[in-house]
Amino acid sequence: MRYIDENLIKTEKRDFIDYLKWCQELDYDLSNEFILFPKPFKLAHDRTLEVIEDKKDEIRAAELKKESEIIKKMAAEVKKQFAMETELFIIVVPKSARDLIKEGHTLHHCVGTYVKNVAQGKTNILFIRKKDSIKKAFYTMEVRNGKLVQVRGANNCDMTDEVKLFVNSFKTKMLPVEKVA
């Protein structure tokens, strides 16, 4: 308690608890007083946090790589299932986790957080593109269990009338007819 009182006057006492938890996660020797009671504490806290964040980044990078490989393998089948184009628009299937993340960043919406669900086959994400600029992000569509869940443009904007016509045509041609009870 004396160490906490002497060293954490300018920081939150919760920081010490976090520091100890991180040290434990990193298998640091907590019987070593140099680790248990570092001086200066703030520097040790911040460095340990960086190590923890780097470790989390490495883990997430490995997960993203695996998910990306799965998405790539699934892309051809998803394309067969949902391939559609009109005079103005075309459906493009993402081929990697990076495609989903880039789409989210470009259109300023959250589709990049759907990577795990796409890789697990829980949902399908499709990109609606203008035929004259296929590489440029335009609208993002989610289809889950044969149903259209959402369609979002930049900053989560709603569909234009032209996009609504395309999406309605997509629903009619590509999705199973819902039975009314």
Asked whether 112 and 104 are in contact (CB, 8 A), the reply is yes
Which residue in this structure is represented by tokens 């399908």?
A: 124
Which residue in this structure is represented by tokens 């298998």?
A: 27
pLDDT in tens, 40-50: 888 999 999 99
Residue 145 burial class via C-beta count within 10 angstroms: exposed 0-12, middle 13-18, buried 19 and up: exposed
* pLDDT at 34 exceeding the cut of 80: yes
The helix/strand/coil state of 179 is coil
* pLDDT at 83 exceeding the cut of 80: yes
The helix/strand/coil state of 42 is helix
Which residue in this structure is represented by tokens 């994400």?
A: 125
At 10 the pLDDT is 54
* pLDDT at 17 exceeding the cut of 80: yes
Question: What percent of the chain clears pLDDT 70, i.e. is strictly above it?
Answer: 91
**pLDDT band per the 50, 70, 90 thresholds, residue 4:** low
When pLDDT is averaged across residues 105-110 and rounded to a whole number, the result is: 96
When pLDDT is averaged across residues 102-116 and rounded to a whole number, the result is: 96
DSSP 8-state code for residue 139? E
Residue 20: CB partners within 8 Å, gap ≥ 6? 30, 36
At 5 the pLDDT is 64
Which residue in this structure is represented by tokens 């680790």?
A: 35
Question: What percent of the chain clears pLDDT 90, i.e. is strictly above it?
Answer: 82
At 41 the pLDDT is 85
Please, what's the largest Cα pairwise distance for the chain? Answer: 74
Long-range contacts of 43-47 (CB under 8 A, 24+ apart): 44/19, 45/11, 45/15, 45/16, 45/18, 45/19
pLDDT in tens, 48-78: 999 999 999 999 999 999 999 999 999 999 9
Model pTM?
0.76
Q: Mean pLDDT across the chain, nearest whole number?
A: 92
Q: Measure the N-to-C terminal CA separation of the chain; round to a whole number of Å.
A: 67
The identity of residue 151, as a single letter, is V
At 155 the pLDDT is 96
